[in-house]
Amino acid sequence: MSWWIWIVAGLCLAGLEALLGGELYLLFFGAAGVLVGALTALGVLPAAWMQLAAFSVAAVGVALPLRNKISERLKARIPSREIDATVGAEALVLDTIAPGDRGKAELRGSPWTAENVGEAPLAAGQRAVVERLEGLTLFLRGR
């Protein structure tokens, strides 16, 4: 195959990785394609079977040891955030909820399961502050 086909294919694969925001597999195959294209242009890989073998070895040989390390580093740079700034928001208590018990509360127009983590009961119609969120349960404390 021509060297430029390898480079175009490699750049397309790397571009797809950027568009799809995937798991970095296409990035390594794209880099391998560009590498094989460069080696073919230099005359190092004249036969098609040599190009295919070099592509396979380069893609898998680099992806296996590096993919997890790079992926972990990229994920470590993403700041953790509270879910939609729910902690600290005010919820409307729909049921009277004794301390330590569960009931219903409304937050931003949606009903939620709520647990009273305060020491005083929460009355229906009262506003309460969301202290934390676990799954679909709000942990509330009276104002």
pLDDT tens per residue across span 103-113? 999 999 999 99
Three-state DSSP class for 81?
A: coil
Q: Residue 84: what pLDDT? A: 60
Can you give the residue ranges of every domain in the chain?
3-76, 83-142
What CATH number was assigned to the domain covering residues 83-142? 2.40.50.140
Q: Residue 31: what pLDDT? A: 93
Q: Residue 78: what pLDDT? A: 59
Phi, psi of 66, rounded to the nearest 5 degrees: -105, -25
Q: How far is CA 105 from CA 62, 84, 94, 114, 140, in A?
A: 52, 17, 5, 6, 9
Cβ atoms of residues 63 and 50 within 8 Å: no
Q: What percent of the chain has pLDDT over 70?
A: 94
Q: Which residues contact 49 (CB under 8 A, 6 or more apart)?
A: none
On the question of pLDDT at 134 being above 70, the answer is yes
**Considering the entire predicted model, what is its pTM?**
0.53
Cβ count within 10 A of residue 19: 9
Q: What percent of the chain has pLDDT over 90?
A: 71
Q: Residue 80: what pLDDT? A: 57
pLDDT tens per residue across span 7-38? 999 999 999 988 887 788 899 999 999 999 99
Cβ atoms of residues 137 and 114 within 8 Å: yes
* Helix count and strand count (H, E) for the chain: 3, 5
Q: How far is CA 124 from CA 27, 85, 90, 92, 98, in A?
A: 55, 24, 14, 8, 11
First to last CA, the chain: 72
Q: Residue 59: what pLDDT? A: 93
Q: pLDDT: is 90 or 85 the higher one? A: 90
